[in-house]
Amino acid sequence: MELFIIATFILGYTAITLEHSIKIDKLVPALLMMVICWTTIALNIDGIQNWIDPHSGTLVSIGTANHEIKSELLETTLLHHFGKTAEILIFLMGAMAIVEMIDHFEGFASIKNIIKTKKKINILWIVAILGFLLSAIIDNLTATIVLITILRKIIKDTETRMWYAGFIIIAANAGGAWTPIGDVTTTMLWMANKITTGEVMKLLVLPSLVCTVLPLIIASFMPVFKGEIDPEEAEEQKSGHGSFMLIFGLFMIIMVPVFKTITHLPPYIGMMLSLSIIAITAEILSNRKINISHNDRENLEGETHHGPTLKALGKIEMPSILFFLGILMTVASMESLGMILNFGQTVSAKIDESVFITMLGLASAIIDNVPLVAASIGMFTQEQDANIWHFIAYAAGTGGSILIIGSAAGVVAMGMEKISFFWYLTRISGLAAIGYFAGIGVFLLLS
């Protein structure tokens, strides 16, 4: 049974990796392998000897238990993992909705006003620092989309813009690694109570900054960033509330970890509070009736009511949400059987943990970092805020920059600017690798 589940995961993940070649969205194999894995366990429940208790996280023997007890344990475990996964998904959906409402008021367009210089190298440093800071608050995927959109209004030449996009990927991935709300993998570790907000920011901000700055220093001497650009004509901002919504929206996202620290409630509760406040503000600024349901969409004149909240909720990336559901629940099935814990113990006995996590970060350049981090959560048993959890957050978050297919930021930049795999490999990957290993060196020195 275990071999069949492993084979299912490998085949499913191969299909995810070859998404663009086989023309099947990655959420399809993710959901399919989730169903196959849990169905296999359910059909073979009587033959299972060991099981990870979902509450204590310890391996227990259930070989002598009868069918009813095992079935009840399976149902309890499935509900437990689905609840934990749902917490992450609701959190992400709330963050996505807030970002979409900021964009509805053209809040991100106001960032363009920060870039006044015409010097190429100055623009590079500005957009990279913005990428680093923005992705620490919103996710690295959204930060990349925002900054490349802004670059299109500043830089005409496609080849030059591709260079800038490469450094935005590095900065966005590094920026997302050092806060619990900046990258989905760091969020997963935070919501699993493996890291705390203060510790992860304190220990990872400097390594992440080095990971970003060192490639920028090298780029300062590269010919492609010499000289000046011919800026596009300035465009007027249609919305008068853009700057306010940008600042207010980012502030409310930042308040989510603060809310968790004060109340000790799960992070998704704080995110829903922030979303509610942003939604009320957005509806008032739009001079519309506060209503986020599908009822009463018609006003007195019979026109359809589509406020900013409804529009934001309609733009949420549901394929990404379902992909995360499939991946996390598939990994949970292997974790429940004790497969991941046993693998982790075997690896720890033969390979130094630092070397293993460094390799995990390099693997995230090829394999999606979500299942890697999900597996590592069930692989190690160290206490909260142990160095290993912060190391995993850094490695998984920044290692994906080494290849353009290794992160969501890289994939979206690849699509927006038509960057080829080999163009990125020959021009950006080496710089990303230098930053990655330099950040690891700083982290190991600090810890």
> Mean pLDDT of all residues in the chain?
85
CB 113 within 8 A of CB 378: no
- The tally of CA atoms less than 13 A away on the side-chain side of residue 363 is 14
378 Cβ contact partners less than 8 Å away, ≥ 6 residues apart: 52, 57, 331, 334, 335, 340, 341, 344
Nearest alpha-carbon partner for 273 in 257, 295, 256, 285: 256
Report pLDDT for 365: 85
Helix residue spans in 105-227 (DSSP H) = 120-137, 140-152, 158-177, 184-191, 197-219
Half-sphere exposure of 120 toward its Cβ, with a 13 Å CA cutoff? Answer: 20
- What is the arithmetic mean of pLDDT over 165-174? 95
More confident residue, 108 or 80: 80
The average pLDDT across 3-9 equals 92
CA distance 324 to 326: 5
Q: What is the mean pLDDT of residues 423-429?
A: 92
**pTM score of the predicted model:** 0.74
Question: What pLDDT does 303 receive?
Answer: 41
Residues 251-264 have pLDDT tens digits of: 998 888 889 889 98
Strand partners, 61: 50
What mean pLDDT do residues 40-46 have? 92
Written as six digits, the tokens of 62 are 């259930």
- Any alpha helices (H) in 264-352, and if so which ranges? 267-285, 308-314, 318-336, 339-350
pLDDT tens sequence across 343-356: 777 777 788 889 99
Q: How much of the chain exceeds pLDDT 90, in percent?
A: 35
Residues of the chain with pLDDT > 70, as a percent, come to 92
Tell me what pLDDT residue 239 has. 59
Q: Could you tell me the pLDDT band of residue 127, with boundaries at 50, 70 and 90?
A: very high
